[in-house]
Amino acid sequence: MATTATPPAFARVSQLASDRRVHKAFQWMHLHERQIMRWQTDLVTIPAPPFGEGPRAERLCALFRDLGLGDIHTDTIGNAIGVRKSATPSEHAVLISAHIDTVFPAGTPIKPKTRNTRLEAPGACDNGAGVACLLALAAALQHADFTPACDIIFCGNVGEEGEGNLRGMRCLYEQPGFAARIAAHLVIDGAGNEIAVTEALGSRRFQVTLNGPGGHSWANADRPNPIVVLSHAIARLSEVELSHSPRTTMNVGTIEGGTATNVIPSSASARFDFRSTSPEQLIRLEVELHRAVEDAVIAANKSAPDAALTGTALNYTISSIGARPAGALPADSSLYQLLRAVDRHFSIVTQTRTASTDANVPLSLGVPALSIGAGGNGGGIHTLNEWYDARDRESGLRRVLLLMLAAAESAAAS
């Protein structure tokens, strides 16, 4: 387990937790679970496939407006944004975000079913729970008439899943001066109230494609076969020793090519996924990939001496299809200490994790960030049978609210 909270952090959290307005916000959460579930069901019903999150973002903006947030808009990439303003202008702000996109493609049937505290639907937990948390926090602050110590930016962002490649977060942090303004970033992702992702798992993904003339398996048997050559490259790459500390992994997720058993294919392709918390290890694997593919193609073309003259030589392309930066929240950072203090206040045993989330982007830029759950429980993630159970959601919401407000006070005091 990581270090415990420092006394100043715990004192700050304890003082904030005794504020009557915080108690009023907690009371709203306790009394309005049905309303939170209605919001969650409403948003989950609106499809938000990769690169098609617009309708859900528009609905979220309308709800932000109802809950008293200001500066409501969708930015150039489609993120839904609203702000809970502080009483006085501050150079710092706290960002709280939850991704609104799902892994499910356009046309996926979405017919939510609710039974008591349970919601069943694609995206019900990932990340219907996180987006509902944003609304619950905004509503609780409005009910308690709580003015935060610095601006709190609420963001329902796009592009977290798969080939979305964190484009929503990238867009936010590419704004001039944005990273310097954010004193703390809380990412709300999925269910749970004990785990915190404080280390960002970096990844790099590539598609390798080999092209050649193809031909008949008998008449043109001397021509290089893209599938065979690609297989040689994969076999060589599989022999590369992977680091155990920091842990580094490599995967070949797909391999495609060919049309019939008696036809030399004209192309073959494969997709590679490299993961590590170390940027240096990711760069090393990228270099190894290029070497393996280049050497395999060169060797194949040399084995067919007339390939260049006859135009039957192989060629290749290696394209990046995704990159997520690595990073970590230092244990001595203010945000980390506040998390420990909040969890101590609620008698929660904090469990830290390494994962790939929207927090990858701010952590890679040195912005204090972490990813935590929205309370409750969930399962069947990324399947049509996904579900979320709101029992004990309240504990997660209280945890997020207190951490958010403590981070705002810390930012205002810095």
Residue 69 inside a domain? The answer is yes
CATH (domain of 193): 3.40.630.10
User: SS3 breakdown of the chain: % helix, strand, coil, rounded to 5?
Assistant: 40, 25, 35
DSSP labels for 332-362? TSHHHHHHHHHHHHTT---EEEEE-STTHHH
Sign of CA dihedral 355, 361, 367, 373: negative
Q: Which DSSP symbol is given to 247?
A: B
Residue 101: its pLDDT value, please? 98
Of 259, 294, 324, the domain-final residue: 324
Query: Does residue 81 contact residue 75 with C-beta atoms inside 8 Å?
Result: yes
Instruction: Give the percent of the chain with pLDDT over 90.
Output: 93
Residue 143: its pLDDT value, please? 98
Listed as ranges, residues in the chain with pLDDT below 50 are 1-2
80-130 pLDDT tens trace: 999 999 998 889 999 999 999 999 999 999 999 999 999 999 999 999 999
Q: Give the structural domain span for 238.
A: 202-324
Q: Phi/psi class of residue 71: alpha, beta or left (left: φ > 0; alpha: ψ in -120 to 50)?
A: left
Select from 288, 125, 285, 320 the least CA-distant residue to 208.
Answer: 320
Of 291, 324, 357, the domain-final residue: 324
Q: Are residues 177 and 244 in the same domain?
A: no
CATH (domain of 232): 3.30.70.360
Q: Are residues 16 and 137 in the same domain?
A: yes
4-34 pLDDT tens trace: 667 899 999 999 999 999 999 999 999 999 9
Residue 281: its pLDDT value, please? 96
Of 324, 344, 371, the domain-final residue: 324
Q: Are residues 113 and 236 in the same domain?
A: no
Q: Are residues 304 and 376 in the same domain?
A: no
Q: What is the distance between the alpha carbons of residues 72 and 154, in angstroms, rounded to a whole number?
A: 9
Residue 3: its pLDDT value, please? 53
Number of domains forming the structure of the chain:
2
Residue 1: its pLDDT value, please? 42
